[in-house]
Amino acid sequence: MAELVYDKTGRLLFTKEMKKEYTILVPQMLPDHFAMLVRIIQNEGYKVEMLGNTGKPVIDAGQKYVHNDACYPAVLVIGQLINAVQSGKYDPHKVALVITQTGGGCRASNYIHMLRKALEKAGLSYVPVISINLSGLEHNPGFQLTLGILRKAVFAILYGDLIMNVGNQVRPYEVNPGETDRVAAECVDFLLEGMAQGKGLSYKSMVKNFDRIIDRFKAIPVTGEEKVRVGVVGEIYVKYAPLGNNNLNEFLLSEGAEPVVPGLLDFVLFKIYNRDVDVDLYGGKWIKQAVCRFLLRYMKRYQHALIDALKRSDRFRAPGDFDELHSYIKGYLGDGNKMGEGWLLTAEMLELIHTGVPNIVCTQPFGCLPNHIVGKGMIRKLKDDYPWSNIVAIDYDPGATKINQENRIKLMLANARGLAKEHAAQEAESQQAREAEPAAV
């Protein structure tokens, strides 16, 4: 059995011996993206499992072991991890936990310390915690984020974004219920099988896979009806994680709406861009800026490939690229607004409004100050500038009732349908006026 080894500061390390014996548990955020990320790490010789435990026991564990002034995503992520360790499914002496550290000024950098404190309270201080960070915050001899893993992770994010994007455009209209989910699962499977053999991890093969995925989704029979499109923005965890947002996507579908969810890649690009901007705003080494700019260029090329594939499809709407997204915030927020989702959150709302999706749910977790400023705090300004926008901020916390959240979304949807009718009436009126005009000689 692997020996427990601590570093100079007393931190329990994940050792090379543990790599052979321990199962690494990963909290869930985006099911398809994370399934691929987990497989990539498994292919590097780690035993990894993505958690699927959900519901009240997870929230209860979070509330029991995390201080009640912590932001809600911390309560859920830590609750999910502790609940899994205590579930009896695993040998607690043979598991390690993974958590991300953003390295920014936001509390997400400190979730790891909250998790260690929670483990101590739960009598599980012998469980090692691995930090996933790109800022050199913590190292473990038994776990390394190599360049190879990071490169493959970029592919997983792109594939995940594409499946999410086309899935959202097809699912509300599918003729055979459940077919979109089946196709999405098939796509994830063939990508994972390919990745296990080292396939699909080059630019060229990625582009081919994009077309293959799009063709699979295009072949799903759909009804021709029109539905209200609803954008979903907000703090990254509650925006994406069904556990965080009480299955918001499912709820929107059940209400006859089409969810429009921005991809994860823009968030990654936003984080890299922030490091570049830091050097201009606060000073720093030119080499750091040069590396960030290289990375941005590299990843934007991949983003363009995804956008081009969607445009080529002649069926699916393509999102704008990162530069277009960034251009929307001019006159609203400066680049220094980068805690939490920072200017990206406002930019996503603006992009949605500009691309015909003025109906937006802005997900706000309890205790998240940065996103209250760039999310809820910007809604008034956006309404002033775009009176037809229809944005609702929904709070997520352990005390908020699902029924209350859903009623507020239903009200937003009723407004959306009213606005759509008004818009259609105005269109019809101007069409009649155009037809009544005498033809020019």
Residue ranges that bind ligand SF4, judged by CB under 6 A = 71, 73, 106-108, 235, 340, 365, 368-371
Q: 403-436 as b/e, with b when 16 or more CB fall inside 10 Å?
A: eebbeebeebbeebeebbeeeeeeeeeeeeeeee
364/378 Cα distance (integer angstroms): 13
Beta bridge partners of 132: 100
Contacts of 157 (CB under 8 A, 6+ apart): 33, 263, 264, 265, 268
Contacts of 402 (CB under 8 A, 6+ apart): 246
How remote is the C-alpha of 299 from its chain's centroid?
A: 17
Q: How far is the CB of 341 from ligand SF4 (least distance, A)?
A: 7
Kindly tell me which of 96 and 108 has the beta carbon lying closer to ligand SF4. Answer: 108
Is residue 392 within 8 A of residue 409, CB to CB? The reply is yes
Q: Three-state SS for 48?
A: strand
Q: How far is the CB of 149 from ligand SF4 (least distance, A)?
A: 24
**Which uninterrupted H or E stretch holds 345?**
helix 342-354
6/320 Cα distance (integer angstroms): 47
70/50 Cα distance (integer angstroms): 24
327/235 Cα distance (integer angstroms): 21
For 310, the token pair is 């969607």
Query: Residue 302: what are its φ and ψ, rounded to 5°?
Result: -70, -40
